[in-house]
Amino acid sequence: MSRTAVIAGVGPGLGASIAERFAEEGCSVALLARSESYLDDLAERLREETPGDAAAIPTDLADGADIEAAFSEVRERFGPVDILVNHASAASWDGLLEQDPEDFRQALAVGPEAALYCSQEAVSDMVDGDEGTVIFTGATTSVRGREGAVGFSAAKFACRGLAESMARELGPRGVHVAHVVIDGGILPPGDGPDDPEEYLDPDAIADSYWHLVEQDRSAWTLELDLRPHVEEF
């Protein structure tokens, strides 16, 4: 039976890799983001090249009502949600004195607030079925604040706390919640940098996300730390 996966925050790079990996496993993948033309192209490619299905659902993840409408469309097209990836983030790279309050609020709205609304929508389906997976995409900044990035740091810290709280609440109800720390730069689409070994491969990260979905509930991962191979830590 096909599983329904929602990727909240899809763009070129890791978001696309996660969607492709899940579709390769036969999932029906709902792609949520604001870029309608990009989502349409990606959904068409996934339908043509993978065993799964895909739907582009343009969504403003800073708008709770838009999120609610998006999940209603997901259920109409694919049925109840089995997998959610909270992948969205948006923040200006500013220090404390330069940080615009509206940009700071936007970082929280697209990060932890969107993750809250998406999780509420998805988990309501999962607990009814006594199973499901919620994955948060974190960063080095989730565990160690970055100089000159107060908005991004605050948003990622908040998402990590949300994930940990949800894991303790929902684990006994059959829902696996995991937080992934992406500790390093991700290889960008296209030609890429001259030193690709210093970057994480988005397809390899996506493999790890699928492993989290497939884990037996007797040995669930709460936090997964991923980084590229380096000589020294």
Tell me the per-residue pLDDT of 126-184, one tens digit each, with 9 for 90 and over: 998 889 999 999 999 999 988 989 999 999 999 999 999 999 999 999 999 999 999 99
Work out the angle at residue 20's Cα, subtended by the Cα atoms of residues 187 and 159, and round it to the nearest 5 degrees: 65
Q: Is the pLDDT of residue 225 over 80?
A: yes
1 pLDDT band (50/70/90 cuts)? low
Asked whether 127 and 134 are in contact (CB, 8 A), the reply is no
Burial of residue 37, with CB atoms counted within 10 A of its CB: 0-12 exposed, 13-18 middle, 19 or more buried: exposed
- The answer to whether 59 and 110 have CB atoms below 8 angstroms apart is no
Q: If 0-12 CB within 10 Å is exposed, 13-18 middle and 19+ buried, where does residue 135 land? A: buried
User: H/E/C letters for each residue in the chain?
Assistant: CCCEEEEECCCCCHHHHHHHHHHHCCCEEEEEECCHHHHHHHHHHHHHHCCCEEEEEECCCCCHHHHHHHHHHHHHHHCCCCEEEECCCCCCCCCCCCCCHHHHHHHHHHHHHHHHHHHHHHHHHHHHHCCEEEEEEEEHHHCCCCCCCHHHHHHHHHHHHHHHHHHHHHHHHCEEEEEEEECCCECCCCCCCCCHHHCECHHHHHHHHHHHHHCCHHHCCCEEEECCCCCCC
The HSE-up count of residue 63 (CA atoms within 13 Å, CB side) is: 10
What is residue 192's predicted lDDT score, i.e. its pLDDT? Answer: 66
Domains of the chain: 4-226 (3.40.50.720)
How does residue 233 score in pLDDT terms, banded at 50, 70 and 90?
very low
- Tell me the pLDDT band of 191, cut-offs 50, 70 and 90: low
**Rounded CA separation 6/142 (Å):** 22
Query: What's the rounded Cα separation, in Å, for the pair 143 and 163?
Result: 13
Residue 39 has pLDDT above 70, yes or no: yes
Q: How confident is the model at residue 202 (pLDDT cuts 50, 70, 90)?
A: very high
Checking if the pLDDT of 213 tops 70, the result is yes
Widest distance between CA atoms in the chain:
53
Q: Tokens for 130?
A: 């006594």
**Whole-model pTM above 0.85?**
yes
For residues 107-133, give the mean pLDDT.
95
Tens of pLDDT, residue by residue over 19-37, are: 999 999 999 999 999 989 9
Reported as a pLDDT band with limits 50, 70 and 90, residue 193 is low
Edge-to-edge strand order for the sheet containing 132-139? 53-58, 28-33, 4-8, 83-86, 132-139, 175-182, 223-226
Q: Minimum mean pLDDT among 9-18, 95-104, 182-191, 203-212: which range?
A: 182-191
Q: Name the phi and psi angles at 7, rounded to 5.
A: -105, 110
Q: Tell me the pLDDT tens digit for each residue of 50-108.
A: 999 999 999 999 999 999 999 999 999 999 999 999 999 988 889 999 999 999 999 99
